[in-house]
Structure 1
Amino acid sequence: MTSAQPTRVDTGRTELLSRAARSTDPLAMFAETSHHLRRLMPYDAAVWRVTDPQTGMMAAPIRAENLDEKGCAVYWECELFTENVNLYRDLAQAERPVAGLREATGDLPARSSLFQAFMKPRGLQDELRAVLRVGGRPHGHISLFRAKGRPAFGPAETKLIESLITPLARKLRSFAGTVPQSLPDTPHGPGLLLFDATGTLLSANDDALAHLEDLPEGPAVRAASGLEVPAWIQSTALKARAIAQERDRGHARVRVRARSGRWLVCHASCLREADGSLGPSAVVIEPAKTSEVVPLIVDAYELTERETEVTQCIARGLSTGQIAQELHLSPHTVRDYVKAVFEKVGVSSRGELVGKLFTEYYAPRAEPGIVRVHDS
């Protein structure tokens, strides 16, 4: 009995994943994936996004294809304030984190506020969206659009996207472990931006302007001042307002990797006026603390929960015997875990492990805060 020959889709999927696996950064992976995916299932526009795995919020970088930049605010206003079909936060928890708009609405897309406000004015008739997740955490979003006159995304195409979710998410997760060649010695302080209820930028301080220059390229909204505001920052401001209005839950907080290689954290809250009404949304961008980035880096090396605990003990300087006592393990078992961690991270000593996971991203930043005294 002869085995079934691989189909065109099978062959194309294999090639797609092979190219994605060799990508050196998220944007390159998005470009390769989209290029090969279009050959397997045509679409007219797309958005590929990195997300913060802790909050699920859109981060950076982002690749937008055949879409105007003016629609970013409209898209996220629908997602956060009015939409109730295929929400990303729901898909992230769903058994199958992929869904088509026309399929979900019984081929009545006008039931969707996203369709009415964003898609229809742009001649788009269907959206297939997916959350790229692995280990129960979202690492990216995909939005594929088809124009009016095209057939709706079908079950076979949904199944194809579903088969790509885990390997693509795993690749996105791995990029957090990439060590930058160098980091600037003097990062800027907290940057502050104020946005009105529509997501329009009102003002920004000098530190915010400096941070914006270091952010990854991607869709942006031009403010009245001419400043280009990344779409994910605008969506963070809108998220804060949605939370304040009790239309959403969670935290308006996201971590991003700047072009310099340094990690930044962006968090927002909605201010209140003297009379108690909602005022502008304040967005703060600042260098991320080590504690906020280490989980991303550890996750990138696919360490298990126990391996992570052993690694944290090593970072504290505990010996094998002390680790065994604290974690209620035998010294032999601890040595096995240490060996497994070394192999995954690609190091050969405890010092090298601590350096790679905990200090390589932050040593330059810590230097200006050191007071050196030479007593005689």
Structure 2
Amino acid sequence: MSPGGVKQDPAFSEIKRLCHSGRGGPELLHAVAERLRQRLSSEAYCASTVDPGSALITHALTGEMGGEREAAVFLDHLYFEHDLDQIRRMTRERRPVALLSELSGGDITRSPRYREMLRPLGLAHEMRAVFTAGGHVWGTLDLSREAGRPDFEPREVAFVRRLAPHLGAGLKAAALRSQALAEGRTGTGAPGVLVLDHRGRVTHYTAAAERWLEEIEDLKPGWSESQDLPPAVRMVAGALKRALRPENSGDLDLLPRLNVRARSGRWLSLYGSLSEGLPAEAVIVIGPAGPGEVVRFNMAAYGLTPREAEVATLAAQGASTSEISASLYISGYTVQNHLRNAFEKVGVKSRRELTRRLFLDGL
């Protein structure tokens, strides 16, 4: 048994290693989708990398999902009329995996996706996975089975649910790495990249990486030629090495990512992955934390409950008490009670102060 009480699964270990293999986003998603298709015995799939700000597709990948007609139905119609809202809802509810049978209330014929896309292809059952990191979506995957076959089992759903945070972290790391290595990216907000060998020594680094490390702590002369790195970097490198060990497959919380407060007061994010070369080296991407990550940390630091956090988020978006009440299906009195609790915990007296403290502090 692994540390998390889950029996070691070679397939899970292999796919988890892929998630942190240093591949580009589309390449990583394709490799994982093909292995999941084999592991879960599905006839078809469609996968996509998405823009984390809008959840709109940036790259689409398919396997046995038809041709131009199906692509047009999906991209021009279904995604905007059906899938996008579903993906956003799953993200908001922190529900990384769901079956079409569940999302359609037990009757898949109610689903536009089934009627307009799956049924014409002879498909019926589908599992949807949404891959997030830092509160934002970085990719999605739909695995489909032929009509007449049984639906996906709970153990298969649990398998993908265990993988979801690793793939979310891998897709975000790929995006940050691509941005950091883009030619000419020297702006103050550009992420930086460190490459460490198997001994933990720096073999390559960008100017942006050195600048971000200086925000964490003073670097000693010759820092790049020694193992004297900030603890945050060594933590991510160590977590990457440990997360990829087969015996740690059951440790669901062990991800090679970390958020650290810089001396300037802003939050920085560090993500780890492997290089594509042999022997593999650890690649650490470091840059400013996104708003979603900052907000999550601020809310946790002030001890807000999940419901208080939901109310505070809607209030920050300008929603009135009645609008929050309707959105969360709670009374206006309950909304006000949650806001009072949030005010007290954060130490503010108004919605404007609450928004500033939770959503702007640390950016």
Please report the TM-score for the alignment, with normalisation by the length of structure 2.
Answer: 0.49
Name the larger-Rg structure.
1
- Higher helix content, 1 or 2: 2
